[in-house]
Structure 1
């Protein structure tokens, strides 16, 4: 795993030679991603920088890496798991290899197949390639968006890119002003979905996209090279699907166990991480190194279930307890994510990565299982609601359920069976709007009340639901479950889950690999009928049935807990003063984005227990810390401009 950064001059009139110190400054900003080695390559038009975390071919895998005559150079972050299959194919076509690194496959694959080379790669990757003869800079990101890649243009027309946003924000001529639409997206989703960033000067390259930039040509647009295709009407029995799933899982895990450094796994005690560990144990002659985080609050603690799996497979297991008031990382998170990011599970994720790095350099995780096999509770609720929505016209539903959603009280403090407000509101909407309402940190009404009149004017009617609507318009399915899985593949998985794991792991120079995001496995799972994913209220049916010979029912069929922290309790207890200082302080009020009276009301309602505003308050606290960090760069002055 590594970090990449670089600059490109697209002008054909006067090719720019970039300053070595500037590119070094970019790579120094992400030294945590690759503390082992650093490399630079500069020539007219381009500068490539790299920070290396040595995993494969430690002796000769340094970057930038070149083809035989030095005309093609690449800097690469990630792993190409099928590189050993591609090497003999490329050798048979006349290419000569000088290393045993997966990186070298990229330059020769580019020579042989051009932009289509990415279609041959199986792995997680973000890379930048310079071809001197074609005078082309080529960027690419993996299908599932596991590895990040940011890019943007500077005031002088130069193009910049990097593994993290901080590579760009330090550059002279970078536009740091805040993107208003990104603010709206953030307070809806709790993160900023691709391709936006918080800054107007930068974009994220979306998953499964490339960007080809030739000298002298206009600014390019990203090109998609892959998409998941849902064809869930293939006839298959549960028994046959389970057998094939076990084979595919074993293969996805096996190819990710290739490493020249210590390797282990996260073990939460949930279905997905337990499945990965079970598969690893069956493939390894040595005990698998596993690690877990324990919480001192029983409702959040899964460590006992993790211990059950560890004992069954005799893993080399390590547990570390995180206290329920472990919020000391708040300031650190702002530096890690570079832009507002409000998934509070980033806190325990940081801790488990910290724990894992004490013993291993590579860890396998269970991320992606819920999206691939239909595991989220919201999927079950959405499909149930969708059956009712499809039986009644939208106009009638709005007339009946709309008023009920408005009149029904927000009973956050009551048992779930009495909380009907959200359900009524969802039934009054169309499918995409209903799912947006389900995943939103704050409702449309809450965000409108939160924003200042001036900021609402600047938004010009823009609503973050347009992110989902844009993906829904091109979705290869209209089936209820498949559609929301697809929407999560495009937004939540890369924007929240993968972002969280990448930054938390790279902060500790730890590489994390995700077998359940193996794209052939994802493609196969997308062809399974809905009944094999959701059945009788049971999510991930085919995965759980396939794992019955490998894991006990106590793991497979218990209630899902998630990797959560007790935010509501924090903001009424040890973080109460933090919440008060943030919501009633000068920084948020002075930004011009928010209504001060609404901020004060949210604090009061949460503190007194009348409403649970914990997720919204956490989002505001994280945004406040972002503004605090940006103040030194004059951000608040730009906000008012």
Structure 2
């Protein structure tokens, strides 16, 4: 795991020493991603430079230093990630007579040899791993940026600088781009509006005007010098702009369609899944440094740890975090699973004050506004793990692949009941849900064993308002501030970003929800959260569920092997129950939550009120203070829980304050 960055001048003319120094400065902004080594490389004639910082995982020797040139000298790479099957790729190159004299045993060197023999796309298609790559072809004077299939590793690009220093810039995090001389991109109001709706900035947008995220599974090629100005909107796959071209090298949409055309029989599903997951965990357990895993006690992390321990020769190091607040501590469940599996388990217990100390770190850690409050415990568990290990496996991706979110059950079911109602009647029903306060709903339904039913019924009521299809219901369910909220001054009409759609296999409404989450929420929220929190403490995280062979297999499985009655992840549970008793796992899904809403009414109130001050908001000119003030007062009253909405505003305000 590392950090990479670089730039290509619109007009070559900068000296080689200046090129390397600038790239080194940009890379230094990413030092937390790679504390073990750093390097810079430049081609003065072409006006291109690459910078890199290294967290050594495979081949700890100087033979793994980057930027790295291929054996022939044609390619130079700056690479962030891991290629888990790189030894198999080396064997294939050897068998084809295409292996160079190996200098070391890093996966970076393997990639370069593959590019020489199979080409860029051909090598990536053969690779199992997570990565963001910048590759300069010295012969063709072409830069290629590539991102892994699911977006585990980040990659930003855009334009910065003025005059002779105008350049196409790129890097693992925005802070590297901001370190380029003359960077002056302003806040993109469309991105801000999307962020307040979704709680994250969705790809291909970034919070900055003219700076974009490379979408998962895509290649961006820049042939020769870049155009002096970037496009007015981000490129979509298949589009070109000047010397830039964007294309997909892997498509989840294609995997979904292929799975529909070649479905697995139900009897094959669980054995095939167990075998493929075992292989994914085996590959991702290879490292030249200490390795462990996160263990929450839920289905996803327990499955990964169970398969790790089954293939390990000694107890696996596992980590969880516990909280003092009642109702938020999942650590006893993790401890029970760890004891059954025989792992070397460590639980870190933190007080509320320790947790709140993380909040001032978030703007720098995430680089752009990000409002999934589980970012805080994620950072804390990564920090705890890093004291013992350099690599940790996680269960991320399980919810999106196997049907772990409540909306997959209740969204289609509710729509089946109310979708045929006249629009007016449906809106009346929504108003009825909202007419009763969340606290009153909680009091009425407390004996039903539901977790925060009032909050969920209000969310459903808001989602039903304006929904005319089950897909619109889904869009509302994943939104906090509603579409067209008008909160961002000067943003204009908020439009949904287009998503590629499979041509088959997605007629089921729940399947469409899972697909869309995998395309948006997974890379832009879940994987972003884990990457930034882990990299802030120089910890590499790996996600076996996102081995593309696992994902492709899962999309071949019948839908009822994922969502079965009122049970999600049915097939995954069957794999897990070969190792862990049902009684240790079967309980309501709790998530990785902390009591932010309570803190906003108490210990964080002064901090929040300073950021939400009406005069401050008006002076900044980004947000309309009126709806924010209403939400704040209603939240303080205790009758409504606007934690998520307020947290999104607070995280933007904190980021804006820190970025000045």
Instruction: Give TM-score, length-normalised by structure 1.
Output: 0.92
Corresponding residue for residue 54 of structure 1: 56
Aligned-partner Cα distance in 1 for 2:55–2:350: 28
Partners in 2 of 1:543 and 1:294 — Cα distance?
Answer: 25
The aligned residue for residue 272 of structure 2 is: 244
Deviation at 1:459, TM superposition (A): 2.5
Query: What residue number does 2:114 align with?
Result: 109
Q: Which residue of 2 aligns with 1:638?
A: none
Q: CA deviation at 1:312?
A: 1.2
Give the aligned partner of residue 73 of structure 2: 70
Do residues 385 (structure 1) and 418 (structure 2) align?
no
CA distance in 2, matches of 1:475, 1:594: 41
- Find the residue that maps to 1:298 and give its secondary structure: coil
Contact (CA 8 Å) 2:6, 2:171: kept in 1 or not? yes
Kindly state the Cα deviation for residue 348 of structure 1 after the two structures are TM-superposed. Answer: 0.4
The equivalent of 1:39 in structure 2 is 39
Worse overlay, 364-373 or 477-486: 477-486
Q: 2:415 & 2:261 partners in 1: Cα distance?
A: 19
Contact 2:323/2:351, CA 8 A, preserved across alignment: yes
Q: By how many angstroms is 1:2 displaced?
A: 0.6
Larger CA deviation: 80-89 vs 254-263: 80-89
Cα distance between partner residues in 2 of 1:558 and 1:199? 42
Q: TM-score, normalised by structure 2?
A: 0.89
Match of 2:437 in 1: 411
Which residue pairs with 1:364 in the alignment? 393
* Structure 2: distance between partners of 1:417 and 1:335: 35
Query: What CA distance in whole angstroms lies between the structure 2 residues aligned with 1:64 and 1:269?
Result: 40
CA deviation vs aligned residue, 1:511-551 (integer Å, no higher than 9, x gap): 00000111100011011111111111111111112221211
* Structure 2 residue ranges without an equivalent (≥5): 227-241, 443-451
**Which residue is 1:346 aligned to?**
375
CA deviations on 1:546-569 (whole Å, 9 max, x unpaired) are 221211213332111110111221
Call closer, same or farther: CA 1:546–1:35 in 2, change over 3 Å.
same
2:105 is aligned to: 100
Structure 2 counterpart SS, 1:265: strand
Aligned to 2:446: none
- Matches of 1:10 and 1:576, distance apart in 2: 48
Contact 1:232 1:530 (8 Å CA) reproduced: no
How far the C-alpha of 1:476 sits from its partner, in A, is 6.2
Residues 130 and 152 in structure 2, CA contact (< 8 A), matched pair in contact too: yes
DSSP 3-state at the match of 1:300: coil
Aligned to 1:462: 494
Provide the secondary structure at the position in 1 that maps to 2:556: coil
| Pairing 1:176–2:185 present | yes
What residue in structure 1 maps to residue 522 of structure 2? 493
For residues 291-310 of structure 1, the aligned pairs below 5 Å read 291-310=319-338
Q: Confirm or deny that 1:204 pairs with 2:213.
A: yes
1:37 to 1:216, Cα distance in 2 relative to 1, 3 A? closer
Which string of whole-angstrom CA distances, capped at 9 and with x for unpartnered residues, describes residues 67-87 of structure 1? 123221111100001111111
Which whole-Å CA distance do the structure 1 matches of 2:504 and 2:32 have between them?
Answer: 37
CA distance in 2, matches of 1:352, 1:474: 41
Give the stretch that moved more between structures: 368-377 or 209-218.
209-218
User: Would the aligned equivalents of 2:295 and 2:318 in 1 still touch at CA under 8 Å?
Assistant: yes
Conserved 8 A contact 1:579-1:603: no
What is the Cα deviation at residue 29 of structure 1?
0.5
CA distance in 2, matches of 1:398, 1:247: 48
Deviations 1:586-633 (A, max 9, x none): 3323222222233222221111112211111111111111111233xx
Q: How far 1:95 moved relative to its partner?
A: 3.1
Which residue in the other structure is 1:121 paired with? 127
Bigger mean CA deviation after superposition, 210-219 or 243-252: 210-219
Relative to 1, partners in 2 of residues 1:422 and 1:562: Cα closer, same or farther, differing over 3 Å? closer
* Further displaced range: 281-290 or 219-228: 219-228
Matched residues, number: 616
* C-alpha distance in structure 2 between counterparts of 1:204 and 1:235, whole Å: 33
Structure 2 CA distance for partners of 1:577 and 1:475, relative to 1, 3 Å: farther
Aligned residue for 2:86?
83
Q: Distance in 2 between matches of 1:3 and 1:200?
A: 23
Residue in 2 that maps onto 1:254: 282
Change (3 A) 1:589 1:322: farther
2:474 equivalent in structure 1: 435
Does the 8 A contact of 2:89 with 2:110 survive in 1? yes
Determine if the alignment matches structure 1 residue 224 to structure 2 residue 248.
Answer: yes
1:209-228 deviation line (CA, Å, top 9, x unaligned) = 11111105724142111112
Following superposition, the deviation at residue 386 of structure 1 comes to 4.1
Give yes or no for contact 2:194–2:494 (8 Å, CA) kept in 1.
no
Q: In 1, Cα distance between the equivalents of 2:249 and 2:470?
A: 27
Residue 159 of structure 2 corresponds to residue 153 of structure 1: yes
Partner residue of 1:590 out of 607, 619, 623: 619
1-structure distance, mates of 2:453, 2:313: 49
1:555 is the counterpart of 2:615: no
Q: Is the 8 A contact 2:306 2:576 kept in 1?
A: no
Mean alpha-carbon deviation: is it higher for 95-104 or for 29-38?
95-104
Higher mean displacement: 608-617 or 87-96: 87-96
When structure 1 is superposed on structure 2, of 321-330 and 337-346 the one drifting more is: 321-330
Structure 1 residue 233 displacement after superposition: 7.3
- In structure 1, the gaps of 5 or more residues are 632-641
User: Per-residue deviation at 1:575?
Assistant: 1.4
Would the aligned equivalents of 1:363 and 1:510 in 2 still touch at CA under 8 Å? yes
Q: How far apart in 1 are the matches of 2:534 and 2:111?
A: 24
Q: 1:234 to 1:129 in 2, by over 3 A?
A: closer
Q: SS at 1:213's partner residue?
A: strand
Taking the aligned partners of 1:184 and 1:475, their CA distance within structure 2 comes to 32
| Secondary structure at 1:19 match in 2 | helix
Q: Which range moved further: 546-555 or 43-52? A: 546-555
Q: Label 1:434 to 1:219 Cα distance change in 2 as closer, same or farther (>3 A).
A: farther
Aligned to 1:540: 569
Q: Distance in 1 between matches of 2:137 and 2:359?
A: 42
What SS is found at the alignment partner of 1:272? helix
**Secondary structure, aligned partner of 2:208:** coil
Structure-1 separation of matches of 2:310 and 2:271: 16
Question: Equivalents in 2 of 1:31, 1:421: separation in Å?
Answer: 44
Residues 350-375 of structure 1: CA deviation (Å, up to 9, x unaligned)? 00000000000011001111011011
State the 1:127 CA deviation: 0.9
Taking the aligned partners of 1:601 and 1:72, their CA distance within structure 2 comes to 57
Distance between the aligned counterparts of 1:260 and 1:596, measured in 2? 52
C-alpha distance in 1 between matches for 2:603 and 2:129: 43
Does 2:657 correspond to 1:628?
A: yes
In the alignment, which residue of structure 2 is the partner of 1:637?
Answer: none
Structure 1 match to 2:9: 9
